[in-house]
Amino acid sequence: MKIGFIGLGIMGKPMVKNLIKAGEVVLVHSRTQASVDEVVADGAIPSNIAEIGRECGMVITMLPDGPDVEQVVLGAGGLLENAKEGLILVDMSSIAPAISQKIHDKCAEKGVKMLDAPVSGGQPGAINGTLSIMVGGDGDLFERVRPILLKMGASAVHCGEIGAGNTTKLANNIIVAMNIAAVCEAFTLSTKAGVDAQKVFEAIKGGLAGSAVLNAKIPMILDGNFNPGFKIDLHIKDLQNAVNTGQEVGCPLPFTGQTIDIYRQLSKAGHGQKDHSGMWLYWNGANE
Ligand code: NAP
A 10 A CB-CB count for 35 gives 19
Angstrom distance (rounded) from CA 30 to CA 15: 14
pLDDT number for residue 169: 98
CB-CB contact of 104 with 79 (8 Å)? no
Distance 286 CA to ligand 1 centre (A): 25
Residue 240: how many CB atoms within 10 A of its CB? 16
Query: What ligand 1 atom has the least distance to the C-alpha of 94?
Result: 32
The Cα 285–Cα 209 span in angstroms is: 25
Residues 160-210: pLDDT tens digits? 999 999 999 999 999 999 999 999 999 999 999 999 999 999 999 999 999
**Whose CA is closest to atom 30 on ligand 1?**
93
Q: Is residue 33 in contact with ligand 1, taking CB distance under 6 Å? A: no
Residue 286's pLDDT is 60
Q: Which residue has a Cα nearest atom 42 of ligand 1? A: 122
Q: Is 8 in the pocket of ligand 1 (CB under 6 A)?
A: yes
123 lines ligand 1 (CB under 6 A): yes
Question: pLDDT tens digits for the chain (288 residues)?
Answer: 999 999 999 999 999 999 999 999 999 999 999 999 999 999 999 999 999 999 999 999 999 999 999 999 999 999 999 999 899 999 999 999 999 999 999 999 999 999 999 999 999 999 999 999 999 999 999 999 999 999 999 999 999 999 999 999 999 999 999 999 999 999 999 999 999 999 999 999 999 999 999 999 999 999 999 999 999 999 999 999 999 999 999 999 999 999 999 999 999 999 999 999 999 999 998 655
- Ligand 1: does its nearest atom lie under 6 Å from the Cβ of 18? no
Q: Ligand 1 test: best mutation among 5, 6, 10, 226, most atoms within 8 Å of CB?
A: 10
Distance 94 CA to ligand 1 centre (A): 9
| H/E element, 133 | strand 131-136
Catalytic residue numbers? 169
Q: Is 74 in the pocket of ligand 1 (CB under 6 A)?
A: no
Find, among 106, 62, 68, 66, the residue nearest to 87 by Cα: 106
What pLDDT sits at residue 285? Answer: 82
19 contacts 5 by C-beta, under 8 angstroms: yes
